[in-house]
Amino acid sequence: MNITEAKKQIMGKLELDDVNSGIFYGEWAKIEGRDTMVSYSPIDGSQIAEVTMATEEDYQKVLDRAQESFKIWRDIPAPQRGLLVKEIGNELRKYKTALGKLVSIEVGKTIVEGEGEVQEMIDIADFALGLSRQFYGLTIVSERPHHRMYEQWLPLGSIGVITSFNFPCAVWAWNAMIAAAAGDICVWKPSSKGALIAIATTKIVNRVVEKFGYPPLFFLVVGRGREVGEWMANDPALPLISFTGSIPTGKRIAENVAKRLGRTILELGGNNAAIVTDQTDMTIALRGVAFGALATAGQRCTTTRRLILHQAIYDEFLTKLKNIFEKVKIGNPLEPGVLVGPLIDEKAVENHLNAIQQAIHQGGKLIFGGEKANIPGLENGHYVIPALIEANPDMDIVKEETFAPILYVMKYRTIEEALEIHNNVPQGLSSAIFTNNLRDEEYFLSPSGSDCGIANANTSTAGAEIGGAFGGEKETGGGRESGSDAWKNYMRRQTVTINYGKDLPLSQGVKFDID
């Protein structure tokens, strides 16, 4: 299927045009008089649409309206807010195929991965519905007679969500669905490479909001990262900024938000490794490593970038993995059977090629792939052959996250050594061990084990479920979003003390007698 045909099937359904407004402040801002950016498909390099970008005035209007909406939304009981989120989930179910296909067209994911992305949004909506009845606080015993203490969780305000091209709507939903249930308003700056997806998503969810008669809750500001991102980071009207993206940008955002003592949730780079021990189920390990390294063409934060193999299975595993790399179908992600689609743009292809050159220069041995891939009929797409490189854990390039399908392979003898190699990078997002050896598995999960936010046994570093808290340590930024108790980031905790007695006893036995 070509892009024109695929586009024809969905643009009308998703209410998209050739030129679209990228600014939603309760209504869609006019197109006239604003700069536009072009959205290209990485599949064949063709232009899919133009999108207008926000001016600072637009941004201010969004923030003003968001503050107005918050005053209403915060007083709606949480279980009622949950009903809205539930309906958004249902609406997304209706658009799973169309929105999923747009994800494929605009950022190059395979059809199943595009639909998986929408499924992730549906899942988090379901999760947020349940959560809307569970914003529990603790009851605390007081040291004073006739006193009661408890904690309550209250809405935080308008929150800023800045997302990356690789999960162009799912990561927004992780934030937006929880935030909406929590009573917050969401201001979204999507990646300009996923702007159409963001517009389509905003249209779908806001129709539901309107149907309920609520004020606008999900705002959209498409624009340059250097502008909109900075406005948001510096804006005290946004008490929380949730940012997904690179480590250097994350550091800049964190500094700016910290200067005004705001909160951040940072989900920055990953450099995830899988350890395969000498006692392992080869089929599971091969499948898990291949999925981790190749899915989304190596452009997930959770992509397996390093493979740490026990010396006893090193040769066998590598030969089998090389076979998989050789066979895996690269090409148009809209075609059935294709598992590896394009990289997002030509810069990403350059980064891929450069990283491989550096790896070789630093002593790595390229054992498969690495070059540009020419897909007949898609000469303007951005395709590469995934690379397998035997490497040394101390090579500088191995410690960097290159957002491309490059897998560095290393050898170990003892599990202690495997974990030393594993933890020897600045990032700390996801990790995996493939083993049937209980001791190795438990060592991996012990305090001396994986230093990552996510640690998996016998399953891939990639493909986390929404029910868990998602995020990582070290330069990954320490944030947690999505499931578990990540909702606490989106609310403010209030400690309440109530005196129902006839005196005023003071804490710590302090006396303050005024008569």
Show which residues are catalytic: 267, 301
Question: What distance lies between CA 225 and its chain's CA centroid?
Answer: 17
Q: Do the strands 481-482 and 147-155 form a parallel or antiparallel pair, or are they unpaired?
A: unpaired
Q: Which stretch binds ligand UN1 (CB under 6 A): 63-71, 183-191, 341-349, 460-468?
A: 460-468
Nearer to ligand UN1, 411 or 474 (CB): 474
What is the smallest separation between the CB atom of 454 and ligand UN1, expressed in angstroms? Answer: 8
x/- track of binding to ligand UN1 for residues 151-170 (CB under 6 A):
---------------xx---
Taking the complex as a whole, the smallest distance from the CB of residue 390 to ligand UN1 amounts, in Å, to: 26
Q: Which stretch binds ligand UN1 (CB under 6 A): 295-303, 334-342, 370-378, 395-403?
A: 295-303
Report the phi/psi class of residue 268: left, alpha or beta, with left for phi > 0 and alpha for psi in -120 to 50. Answer: beta
* Binding footprint of ligand UN1, residue count (CB under 6 A): 11
Q: What is the C-alpha separation between 345 and 111, in angstroms, rounded? A: 19
- Closest to ligand UN1 by CB, 20 vs 456, is 456
Residue placing its CB nearer to ligand UN1 in the complex, 171 or 185: 171
What track of x and - describes contact with ligand UN1 for positions 86 through 125 (by CB under 6 A)? ----------------------------------x-----
Shortest gap between Cβ of 125 and ligand UN1 (angstroms)? 15
174 or 408: CB nearest ligand UN1: 174
Cβ–Cβ < 8 Å for 23, 188: no
Shortest approach of ligand UN1 to residue 123 CB, angstroms? 10
* CA–CA separation, 141 and 143 (whole Å): 7
Binding residue for ligand UN1, selected from 86, 189, 300, 411, defined by CB under 6 A: 300
Integer Cα distance of 286 and 313 in angstroms: 12
Which residue number, 89 or 155, has a Cβ lying nearer to ligand UN1?
89
* Coil, helix or strand at residue 170: helix
Sort strands 473-474 and 427-428 into parallel, antiparallel or unpaired: antiparallel
Distance CA 165, CA 225 (A): 12
Complete DSSP assignment for 77-122: -HHHHHHHHHHHHHHHHHTHHHHHHHHHHHH---HHHHHHHHHHHH
Q: Which of 301, 307, 356, 388 binds ligand UN1 (CB under 6 A)?
A: 301
- Find the shortest distance in angstroms from Cβ 275 to ligand UN1: 18
Residue 171 or 199 with smaller CB distance to ligand UN1: 171
C-beta of residue 177 within 8 angstroms of C-beta of residue 217: no
Residues 6+ apart with CB under 8 A from 75: none
CB 466 within 8 A of CB 313: no
Helices (H) and strands (E) in the chain, counts: 14, 23
Distance CA 132, CA 351 (A): 43
Q: What residues numbered 475-514 form the site for ligand UN1, per CB under 6 A?
A: none
Q: Can you tell me the distance from the alpha carbon of 72 to that of 88, in angstroms, rounded to the nearest whole number?
A: 19
Residue 244 interacting with ligand UN1 (CB under 6 A) = yes
Residue closer to ligand UN1 by CB (options 300, 480) is 300
Q: How far is the CB of 451 from ligand UN1 (least distance, A)?
A: 18
CA atoms within 13 A on the CB side of 418: 29
Q: Rounded to the nearest 5°, which phi and psi values hold at 234?
A: -90, 0
Helix (H, G, I), strand (E, B) or coil at 312: coil
Scanning 145-153, 213-221, 457-465, 502-510 for contacts with ligand UN1 by CB under 6 A, the matching segment is 457-465
Q: Give the integer Cα–Cα distance in Å for 404 and 356.
A: 10
Instruction: Select 120 or 475, whichever has its Cβ closest to ligand UN1.
Output: 120
298 dihedral zone (left: phi>0; alpha: psi -120 to 50; beta): left
Min dist CB 488 to ligand UN1, Å, is: 20
Among 171, 209, 222, 385, binds ligand UN1 (CB under 6 A): 171
Residue type, 53: M
- The dihedral of CA 417, 419, 422, 424: what is its sign? negative
Q: How far is the CB of 463 from ligand UN1 (least distance, A)?
A: 5
Applying CB under 6 A, among 137, 215, 463, 478 the residue interacting with ligand UN1 is 463
* List of residues contacting ligand UN1 (CB under 6 A): 120, 166-167, 171, 244, 300-302, 462-464
